[in-house]
Amino acid sequence: MKEILAKEVQEALAQGQTLKLIDVREVEEVQEGHIPGVIHMPLGLLEFRMHELNKNEPYIIVCRSGARSGRATQFLESQGFDVTNMVGGMLAWEGEVQ
């Protein structure tokens, strides 16, 4: 499983890179604060909504601490997606939130 640090994601966004981030937290958690431009797909709905994703695009999976995103990353990887887990999740995020 590929992994990336929250700081690396933050630096890439600061440099103007376009990243596709998928937040797998629950609705209430996302409403409390999320990375701008994130795609919200709660973990429990992932298998029903993965058809919305493009297998030719890389995605970075985000949750609160990195555990749920790790499970989501493993699942999507097994389905043929190019996914990377953001280690530490939103607890490690120091960038802008909405």
Find the catalytic residue in 9, 60, 61, 63.
63
Q: Is 20 left (phi over 0), alpha (psi -120 to 50) or beta?
A: beta
- The reply to whether 63 belongs to the active site is yes
Q: Within a 10 A sphere around the Cβ of 48, how many other Cβ atoms? A: 9
Cβ pair 87, 63 in contact under 8 A: no
Side-chain half-sphere CA neighbours of 53 within 13 A: 26
Hey, which residues does 58 pair with through a beta bridge? 82
Q: Which residues are catalytic?
A: 63
